[in-house]
Structure 1
């Protein structure tokens, strides 16, 4: 596990400087100080390494944003959404930079499919936020708002990441909240119809089965020594097998694990499974 994480870290530095296509497995192994054989013990190919990096970053991002949307007070929701977004971009700036660049250039079908899947998850989270914030007032323009808010996030992220601008995050968030609210209040001509939205917001994150969740929990339990995270994971598995805890207790258990980088995705999946 340690060697695998080292390869991911070092490869990311090369990808950030050179891009995916221009970086070879040989360059990665030289930079890591390991043999090609050691690389292929961890990853079958460079593409598999890239997919794992995408999964790691996007799972952290989606789970953080989803938690904010479902747990923030209405009056703070939009600003908390933008804070969570830029916090993730800042913490993973190297990979965020690569993703923004490569999405426009990559011809890899696996890369594009993976990103499209996570993109749809983000669309649905933003739609949930918009419906909660503005309700019926944006019934005919809510799908346009989804893509407008995503556009603000992507464009300002690129502006900051590729120009190394000093960032006053509070000012940035206030500015984006104002823009989003103006769009919500004054846009009257929708482009994305309900019919188009059913194609764009296609189902990608159907409810994960109980059996699959138990399998994932078993994997996580093997990764941890005795800790509050391990105890909470064990109790959540028990809840799946024989439900007996109240919603408040399940929420508390999820809260115990959600900030651990290796538990964010399982907490996201469980939160959706338990509909919390």
Structure 2
């Protein structure tokens, strides 16, 4: 739920982002003026410029907002412990397809704007640094969870092949040539990925992009994204470390896992309570094995709640 009318700066910025998204989707970024966005928000043009210095900055923020919204939904699925890894992947692919369909007009307008302006479209180099490396790490781990460690050398090949398949089927959504059930499309993509992964493991052929090429690149670039990790992924890492620790007393282990569960639940509240979050993080600081991750979690929560407050 998004509150459009509020005295807080954060809610005003959300209001502006949603208004800009609506206008960019219907008219295209190039044909939309800051004055029109301000009028739709019910604010003055001067007030709009207090939040965003230019239309380009606002356009970048809208794209980032869309990405973050999708990322949040994917993270929610990752939290569902009862789902097997393969079902999580299928559901996450379905979420990507659903959100692309929901934002189809915006993405089409964005691509047309970039094509019309050549290199002056949305600057991809301004996307969060390390995002690709972080996504690659998550995908590699997901492949191992589903198919076993033997698949790790083929992670990049599988990622590219899945991306290519999704791109081809998304064209059907964009052009509306066929009416396609997204749940079935997601299941079909995972079924095809099963076949490809099993064939690679069985045949043991050399990966097209070998591990010694992509692994150093991924490790080198991961630090650029670490500070932007999603809180739920950090909680998952801490939980894994706590469960597998050989030195923790059982009572402290149980208390720590309870604190992590409370943090997760609080994160999904409409208005997360900072006192609860700080209290649970204080509990986590008693576990010396995960101090680095806990410190990072506190920093990420501080940053993330500013966006959601």
Distance 1:10 1:77, change over 3 A: closer
Distance 1:89 1:178, change over 3 A: same
Alpha carbons 1:83, 1:173 under 8 Å: kept: yes
> Residues of 1 paired with 2:195 and 2:99: CA distance?
25
Aligned to 2:179: 166
After TM superposition, give the deviation of residue 145 of structure 1 in Å: 0.7
> Residues of 1 paired with 2:98 and 2:196: CA distance?
24
Alpha carbons 2:70, 2:99 under 8 Å: kept: yes
3-state SS in 2 of match to 1:167: coil
Matched, 1:88 2:99: yes
Higher Rg: 2
Alpha carbons 1:79, 1:177 under 8 Å: kept: yes
After TM superposition, give the deviation of residue 109 of structure 1 in Å: 7.2
Q: Which of 52, 66, 76 in structure 2 is aligned with 1:57?
A: 66
TM-score, reference length from structure 1 = 0.67
Aligned to 2:256: 246
After TM superposition, give the deviation of residue 144 of structure 1 in Å: 0.8
Structure 2, gaps ≥5 residues long: 1-8, 232-252, 282-291, 298-309
Structure 1, gaps ≥5 residues long: 214-242
3-state SS in 2 of match to 1:23: coil
Matched, 1:127 2:127: no
CA RMSD in angstroms comes to 3.9
Distance 1:252 1:20, change over 3 A: same
Aligned to 1:114: 127
Matched, 1:78 2:89: yes
Q: Which of 246, 254, 268 in structure 2 is aligned with 1:258?
A: 268
Aligned residues: 238
TM-score, reference length from structure 2 = 0.61
Q: Which of 205, 212, 226 in structure 1 is aligned with 2:225?
A: 205
> Residues of 1 paired with 2:144 and 2:263: CA distance?
28
Distance 1:175 1:82, change over 3 A: same
Deviations 1:32-66 (A, max 9, x none): 45432121122111122123222322222223324
After TM superposition, give the deviation of residue 273 of structure 1 in Å: 3.7
Aligned to 1:226: none
